[in-house]
Every structure is written in structure tokens, then in C-alpha cells.
Chain A
Amino acid sequence: MRQGVTAVIYTVSAVIGVAAFAYPFVLPQTAVARTTAHAVDAPLLTLFLIVISLAVLLVEVQGQAVSAKVVAALGVLVAVTAVLRFLDTLFPIPGGFTPIFAPIILAGYVFGARFGFLLGTMALLASALITGNVGPWLPYQMFTAGWVGMTAGWLPHPRRPRRQIILLVCFGFAWGLLFGAIMNLYFWPFVSDGTAASWQPGSGLRDGIGRYAAFYLVTSLVWDVGRGVGNVALILVLGMPTVRALARFRDRFQFVKTE
């Protein structure tokens, strides 16, 4: 029963996350009058909803993961990831390259979806606190980075290392683009200024996707390709040794299930 409720909470949270990012595309005509009359309401309410949803999800995930070993391992891995982001802030690399996604992907792949989700959210939170990047974008970043770690945990584990690395490289590149495409959506409704690439409430799914595609191509694609290529390079160079090291510690940490 409890497992069923947990699954429903995860599903509802995932639906809320997707809806919060995708509502600009699917807002129907009948809702347009209200939304345009309160142009600021919709994004602010959505921000509020995503914070609440994130809190619920964290309470639920935390309720299953309170062992001291999990807490300590998470804390140290979050610290390593935060240091990488700190170095990225100090010595910025041109383009969207950032080294924080590779550890999230690799740890999620080895330790599983739940650990990956927690590492993604906590790493973004801690590194934002350290680098002074707390802002309205943070809940969205936490949610999306959590998805990165969680989906990494769902990847199959082929026996051959070469196939593993190919899988992880493709996954890292895809999330390099996806992260930017998803993150843009949180502020896209705020730049509703009548351009062919801006949000037009009630424009319909097809037109909305077309407008967003134009916006993404003009403002983000090159930047996000940089992030994707950075993920590929990091996973190619560091992927297998990191996976081996994490797998060794996974056995030592003995992440037990009490079910």
C-alpha cells in the first residue's frame, strides 16, 4: 500500500513538474483572458507550485533515505559537485559547459534513481548557496537537475564497459541540450513581448512549440551544445574510472532496502 502511495506521489510530482514547465504550450483559449489580465500571476503561481511540489517530493524521498551512510555520502558528493561549480564560476569556460552534470549522471547511474534525484537537487542547492546564485531560477534548476540524476538511475547497465560509456555519453549530450531547453521555459512566459519567438497565451500547442523553437534556436542552441559537448568530454575522459570507483563504494555503503 505504502509503495503504491509513494509511486502516486512521484507520479503527481512528475506531472506537476512537466505541467509547470509546459503550461505555456497548452494554455487553452478560454483561459487566455484571465492569464493576460494577470500576466504576472501565472508564472508566480507556477513558481509557488513547483516549490511546494519539490518540498513534498523531498519529504517523501527523505522519508525513505535517512540512513547515516546515505546522508554522509550525499553530503560529500554534493560537496565535490559544489566545488566543481565553484571552479566553473571562478574560471568560466565559454559556452554552456559546466562540470556539475557529469557527477550527477554518473552517481545516479551507479547508486540509482532516488539517490540521483537527491544528489541533483541538493548539489544545485548547495552550490547556489556557496556561489551566491540563489534566485527564482533555483527551484526549477533543482527540479531539472533532480530529473537528470533520476533518469540516469533508470538507464540499463550493459555488461560491456564500451557500451556503458556510449550510453552515458549519449545520455550526457541529450541532457546538455534538454536542461537548457527545459530551464528556458521557466522565464519564457515573462518575455511575452509580441515577437515571433515570444510566448503568446492561447496560441495553441503547435504554434507555441514553433514560437519556442524559434526562441530556443536564436538564444540557446549554441550555448546548450557547449554544455552537451562538455558532458560528452567529461564522461569520455572520467566516466569509466568514476563508475568503477562509485560501484566499489556502493558495495561498501550497502544501500539496503527494508521492504
Chain B
Amino acid sequence: MMNDDLDARSWVVWVAAAVITALAAHNPFYTLIVLAAAGAVGVVCARPDMGLPLPLARIGLVILFFTTLFNALMVHVGATVLFRLPGNWLWIGGPVTVEAAVVGAGNGLVLFTLLVVFTTMNRVVSTGELVRLAPRALRDLAVVVLIAITYVPETMNQLRRIREAQAIRGHRVRGLRDWRPVLIPLLIGGLERAMGVAEAMVARGYGSTADSRQPLATQLVLLLGLLAAFAGWVISFWVGWPGWMLMGGGVVIILLLLWQLGRQTPFTRYRPRPMTKWHVGLMGTAVFPLLLIFLPLPFVDKTTFNYSPYPQLTIPGFDLLTGFSMLLLSYPALAGWFNGNESQLAPTAAPQVKSDDND
């Protein structure tokens, strides 16, 4: 599967939609659907070289165990009492109820679902694609990240070489102090390489050899956008929409400035990433459940979004249309599975150079 050809922006939309859905629909049935969808996408769409970076099942069990235990011990509300702890025990003294345990497990399930969603994105979208999402206005910092990512394997190799060299001299790493003859040469070697990299960059015409500053106008617009966003955020706690509008205005100002700064940066794409129908489908299906959750639609049972087992444990409600809409988050997995040919997921574009130089 040519995941390097994926459009990372559409996956960012998918992740955002899955996260907001998991947080907004407080109902274990809906959370389980999002979890299952994210898990299926991770299994079907993960890059072939990308295994699970974390032992997810074990982590999930730990999260569920601790959130359930924490809530059961700290909340003494609910009709179904399991047992009682002595009342003079600070914070945890009192009745331990099934309802409190269920709420804790529900919170743990949401946390685990978020973890699975982000793990899926990390398995599907390559590091290079994620770095390319950086705004062009932050070009220098994107270069920093790219240098770092490029040098990580070299740094690992250097670490291994230093350890081998020290081992030949009879040095053994037993305690923390024994790491000093390994890590200090690693640091010095890295900084020596940085000198070489800097000289090579200057020789190839990168930037300047001295620091420079943003123009005053740019700074003032940044400050204006930042102040508007902050003021809007504060106001939103009292009056809602006007605050959101002000915050949105500030964000738009900053985004426009970033776009303008980015236009001043020469940019060359070696492999263009076209936005295909598949990517549009991915974003459309991901956003669909959010529409049902947030739009005032009379045919959606919104009471199912706020399940609470207090005071007596009940079975959570379930709205069929909402459940189906959340199932659409598994669209990438279903598309890949039905097509049988994963290349459908990632239309391969022939490498071609496209220059967006603006100057």
C-alpha cells in the first residue's frame, strides 16, 4: 500500500471527527462503535512496516481498571451498593456502588478510544506526511524537525558505535554514572555534525548566517489576532456565540497571515498529493456523525448522548441513525476490505516535480 501518497489532511479531518464524536456522545454504545471503527481502520489501513507502537490491549485494560477503581472508590453515589468502606477513611470512605464503577469504566473507555484513534493515525500516516502538514510560514522549524528525524537513525548508530568502542576499552554500563562516557561523546559528536550541517546549508544558500527579525507589521497583525482569539475565548464562557465569533475572527487573522507568510516561501513538490474522490468520501463520512450530534435535527434522539447510570443503573439508550452514522467512521476500512486492493485507498501519482515558487 502506498501510504506515502495519502492525503494527510483528510486523515486529520477523520481523526478530529472521531475524537469529537467520542467526547461529545457520552454513551458507552456509541463509544464502542467509534472504538471498533478506529480499530478496524488501524488493522486494514496501517502501513505494512508499521506495527503497533504500543501494547494497546494491555494499556486498555490498565486504563479501564484504574478509572473504574478510582471512580468506584471516590464517588459514593448510586443505589446498588457493593460494599461499604469505613467512613473515617479520607476520600474513599463510604458505600462503593455499581453505578460509580460503571461511570468510571465509561470514562476509561473514552480515554482508550482516543488512544486507539491517535494510534491509528500514527500507523496510517507517515512521519513525513505529518511534517508536510506544517504551515509554510513555519518553514525553519519544519527544517529543524526534518533534520532531527533524519538524524535520529544516525544518532542511534553513533550511540551503538560509542558503546562498542567503550566496551572494547573494558567499560561496562551498569549504573547511571556509567552512561557518562557514552552520552557526552554522543552529544559532542552530534554538535560537531551540527557545525557541518550548518556550513553545508549556508554553502547551499540556506537562509542567512545571522539572525533576523519579523517586520513590524507582521508582528502587529500576529498580536492583533492573538488578542482577538484570547478575548473571544474568555467571552465565550459568558455569552457563547459572540465570544466564538471573536475567537474565530482572531484565528482567521492569524491563518491569513500564516498563509501570506507561506506564500513568500519558495516551495517545490516532488510528488503532488491530489485530493481524490476517495479522500472527499473519507472526510464526508467522518463529518456526518458530527452533523447529527450538533445540528438541531428533530429525528435524532439527543437524549442518548448524555447517558448517566445514576441513581439506578439502566441500559443506555441507542439511536439507530446515530449509531449507523458513527459506523461510517470505519469507511476507510470498509473501502479497503471491499476493494480487496489497497491501492484504491491511496491512488498512486507518478512522481513529478511541481514548483509553487512565488518569487
CB neighbors of B among A76-105 (8 A)? 76-80, 82-83, 86, 89, 103
Q: Are A69 and B143 in contact (CB under 8 A)?
A: no
With a cutoff of 8 Å between Cβ atoms, the chain B residues found around residue A77 in the complex are 190-191, 194
List CB contacts (< 8 Å) of B166-201 with chain A: 176-177, 179-180, 183-184, 186-188, 190-191, 193-195, 197-199, 201
Total inter-chain residue pairs, C-beta < 8 Å: 286
CB < 8 Å neighbour of A45 from B210, B233, B239 = B233
Of the candidates A40, A42, A66, A136, the one whose C-beta lies within 8 Å of that of B140 is: A66
Partner of A49, one of B115, B127, B156, B233: B233
State whether A34 and B237 are in contact (beta carbons under 8 Å apart), knowing that A63-B212, A79-B155, A135-B118 are contacts in the complex: yes
Compute how far the CA of A237 lies from the CA of B176 in the bound complex, rounded to whole angstroms.
7
Contact assessment for A53 and B147 in the assembled complex, using a CB-CB cutoff below 8 Å: no
User: B83 at the A/B interface (Cβ < 8 Å)?
Assistant: no
A258–B184 Cα distance when bound, in Å, is: 32
Identity of the chain A residue whose Cβ is nearest the Cβ of B145 in the assembled complex = A126
> How many residues on chain B are close to A (CB under 8 Å)?
97
Known: A130-B127, A195-B75, A241-B180. A42 touches B148 (CB 8 A): no
In the complex, chain A residues 2-18 whose Cβ is within 8 Å of any chain B Cβ: 2, 5-6, 8-9, 12-13, 15-16
* B-chain residues with CB within 8 Å of residue A27 when the two chains form the complex: 237
| Residues of chain A lying within 8 A (CB to CB) of residue B193 | 76
Residues from 100 to 118 in B contacting A, C-beta threshold 8 Å: 103-104, 107, 114-115, 118
Contacts of A238 in B (CB 8 A): 179-180, 183-184
Name the contact of B214 in the complex, choosing from A63, A79, A80, A245 (C-beta under 8 A).
A63
Q: Are A12 and B247 interface neighbours, CB within 8 A?
A: no
0/1 per residue, B85-124, Cβ < 8 Å to A? 0000001000000000001100100000011001101110
Q: Provide the residues of chain A in CB contact with B127, threshold 8 Å.
A: 129-130
User: A63's contact among B19, B190, B213, B237, by CB below 8 Å, is which?
Assistant: B213
Give Cα A234 to B195, complex, Å. 26
| Given known A45-B236, A49-B247, A56-B254, contact A66–B212 (CB-CB < 8 A) | yes
Q: A44-B20, A78-B148, A241-B184 are in contact. Are A252 and B74 (CB under 8 A)?
A: no
* Contact residues, B7-49 vs A (CB, 8 A): 19-20, 23-24
Shortest Cβ distance from B139 into A: residue: A62
